[in-house]
């Protein structure tokens, strides 16, 4: 989506003009037909509400869209503005219109940036593999021209555009089919996107991981012809010598369940089991592009979980990089085996000040929270509160769950140090308890189970059906509030 700015309308201004309307207050200068039409249509300026009319000016037909930007509370203003932009995208992205003029009106720079954020994110669609779309099904809207924006709008949008780019990158990675994105190509795509940004990328192959003792991660990968990879993205934007913050993502690029194979129905959706790694890559791209003033590490453990004759078996015992042994009860509880070695490597290699992992880890989380919140578990109350606050502000919402020794004993093994699943109840909690055993030296740590949020079966506030890009804006907001604030 091309975004341009002009001080005033002229003959080249797009015929489709969008104007923002506050609750129960129409913008000035509307014609009588538009005013009466809005009243007849019960348009009241609620967030995301849309009214359209046509008129003639200078011998050409113009298309006017009024979009509501209203919010009941001040702290909901950002979301309301984004919802307004998203409403414009949903209505006009396949309308045949190629450009839209956004009349800035009385909106301030950050308010305009919020409308553009919602518009660009909602207009994103990944049609690269669709070759037979009819003309009316194709996305036509390619440009937004902002008219009359106040000083400071372009810098405000430039900063926000970096975050939007990160969200779109996450969606791209998650949306791609598993024969296109697998561990090697995930790394290659990141290398392409981060080229020339100033970030440093480190890639470990299977021989290097074997030498480091990553038996848990490699055990998941051993049934696949696609070799595993460990990817680290480093950005040193903070004070020299300050310990970095580590973001760690589960990157199972396709999850059959292994020998404990999943049911066939819906298995195609398991291409998004790398949503945690996708979120980390997208967040790092956003932070690097906007040159965040913080030292950051993004670590992605990348594997494919397949059930061939060399695949890991239920009953196997693997040795993790930490030296702890794990009895594999269920090969479909593979994400925690990937994360535990990624967490250990991140701590030993980078000595982070804090560690946050993101993973589409458990179906139990979807049962608990549906598709409205991701779950958060933390060993540090301050870190948990900071992430919860970032979730409320960014719209990537979180809900906290407990950690307790009472749950920890449910994953004790009789043959190894730990087993990779507990009983049926408390499945998300016992998964978090498993990961907690790999936190070293009291490092502040939070685990985000995003299983219900990485993919959507229906459109949401600023996304269509499919990959949501969840986690990018959450981590960006956390960095702004905690590390840069």
pLDDT of residue 174: 98
Query: Catalytic: which of 46, 83, 226, 336?
Result: 336
DSSP run (H or E) holding 399 = strand 398-400
| Cα–Cα distance for residue pair 461/258, rounded to 1 Å | 35
Q: Which domains does the chain have, with CATH numbers?
A: 2-151 (3.40.220.10), 162-483 (3.40.630.10)
- Report CA-CA distances (Å) from 426 to 144, 182, 276, 372: 48, 31, 21, 19
| Cα–Cα distance for residue pair 372/392, rounded to 1 Å | 12
Query: Catalytic: which of 6, 77, 262, 397?
Result: 262
3-state secondary structure of 103: strand
Pairing of strands 229-236, 200-204: antiparallel
pLDDT of residue 343: 98
CA distance from start to end of the chain: 30
CA atoms within 13 A on the CB side of 114: 22
Write the DSSP symbol of residue 74.
G
pLDDT of residue 70: 84
* Cβ-based neighbours of 135, under 8 Å, separated by 6 or more: none
pLDDT of residue 87: 97
pLDDT in tens, the chain (485 residues): 999 999 998 888 999 999 999 998 999 888 888 999 999 999 999 999 999 998 777 778 889 999 999 875 666 899 999 999 999 999 999 999 999 999 999 999 999 999 999 999 999 999 999 999 999 999 999 999 999 999 999 999 999 999 999 999 999 999 999 999 999 999 999 999 999 999 999 999 999 999 999 999 999 999 999 999 999 999 999 999 999 999 999 999 999 999 999 999 999 999 999 999 999 999 999 999 999 999 999 999 999 999 999 999 999 999 999 999 999 999 999 999 999 999 999 999 999 999 999 999 999 999 999 999 999 999 999 999 999 999 999 999 999 999 999 999 999 999 999 999 999 999 999 999 999 999 999 999 999 999 999 999 999 999 999 999 999 999 999 999 999 97
* 328-364 residues labelled b (16+ CB within 10 A) or e (exposed): bbebbbbbbbbbbbbbbbbbebbebebbbbbbbbbeb
pLDDT of residue 286: 98
Q: What are φ and ψ of residue 292, in 5° steps?
A: -55, 140
pLDDT of residue 60: 80
Place of tokens 């553009």: 116
* Burial (CB count within 10 angstroms: exposed 0-12, middle 13-18, buried 19+), residue 476: buried
pLDDT of residue 56: 75
Question: Is 193 one of the catalytic residues?
Answer: no
pLDDT of residue 446: 98
Contact 343, 294 (CB under 8 A): no
Q: What are φ and ψ of residue 206, in 5° steps?
A: -65, -35
CA dihedral sign, ordered 71, 76, 77, 78: negative
Please, what is the Cα angle at 381 between 379 and 387, to 5 degrees?
Answer: 95
Question: Is 293 one of the catalytic residues?
Answer: no
């Amino acid at each position: 989506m091309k975004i341009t700015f002009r001080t005033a309308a002229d003959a080249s201004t797009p015929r489709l003009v969008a104007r923002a309307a506050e609750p129960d207050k129409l913008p000035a200068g509307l014609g009588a037909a538009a005013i009466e039409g809005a009243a007849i249509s019960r348009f009241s300026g609620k967030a995301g509400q849309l009214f359209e009319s046509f008129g003639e000016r200078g011998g050409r037909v113009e298309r006017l869209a009024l979009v509501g930007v209203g919010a009941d509370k001040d702290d909901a203003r950002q979301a309301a503005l984004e919802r307004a932009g998203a409403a414009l995208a949903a209505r006009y992205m396949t309308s045949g219109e190629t450009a839209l003029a956004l009349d800035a009106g009385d909106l301030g720079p950050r308010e305009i940036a919020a409308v553009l954020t919602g518009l660009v994110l909602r207009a994103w669609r990944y049609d690269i593999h669709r070759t037979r779309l009819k003309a009316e099904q194709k996305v036509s809207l390619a440009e937004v021209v902002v008219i009359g924006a106040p000083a400071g709008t372009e810098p405000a949008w430039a900063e926000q555009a970096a975050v939007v780019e990160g969200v779109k990158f996450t969606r791209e990675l998650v949306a791609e089919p598993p024969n296109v994105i697998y561990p090697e190509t995930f790394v290659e795509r990141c290398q392409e996107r981060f080229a020339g940004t100033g970030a440093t990328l480190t890639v470990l192959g299977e021989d290097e991981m074997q030498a480091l003792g990553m038996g848990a991660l490699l055990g998941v990968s051993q049934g696949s012809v696609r070799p595993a990879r460990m990817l680290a993205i480093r950005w040193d934007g903070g004070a020299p010598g300050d310990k970095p913050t580590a973001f760690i993502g589960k990157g199972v690029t396709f999850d059959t369940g292994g020998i404990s194979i999943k049911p066939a129905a819906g298995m195609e959706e398991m291409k998004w089991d790398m949503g945690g790694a996708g979120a980390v890559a997208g967040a790092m791209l956003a932070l690097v592009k906007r040159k965040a003033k913080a030292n950051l590490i993004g670590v992605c453990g990348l594997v494919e979980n397949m059930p061939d004759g060399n695949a890991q078996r239920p009953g196997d015992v693997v040795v993790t990089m930490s030296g702890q042994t794990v009895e594999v009860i269920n090969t479909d509880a593979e994400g925690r085996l990937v994360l535990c070695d990624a967490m250990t490597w991140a701590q030993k290699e980078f000595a982070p000040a804090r560690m946050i992992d993101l993973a589409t880890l458990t179906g139990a989380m979807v049962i608990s929270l549906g598709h409205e919140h991701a779950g958060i578990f933390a060993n540090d109350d301050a870190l948990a509160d900071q992430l919860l606050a970032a979730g409320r502000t960014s719209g990537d919402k979180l809900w906290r769950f407990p950690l307790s020794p009472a749950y920890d004993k449910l994953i004790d093994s009789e043959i190894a140090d730990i087993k990779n699943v507990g009983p049926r109840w408390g499945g998300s909690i016992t998964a978090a308890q498993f990961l907690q055993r790999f936190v070293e030296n009291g490092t502040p740590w939070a685990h985000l189970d995003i299983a219900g949020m990485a993919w959507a079966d229906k459109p949401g506030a600023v996304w269509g059906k499919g990959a949501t890009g969840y986690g990018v804006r959450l981590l960006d907001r956390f960095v702004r509030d905690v590390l840069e604030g």
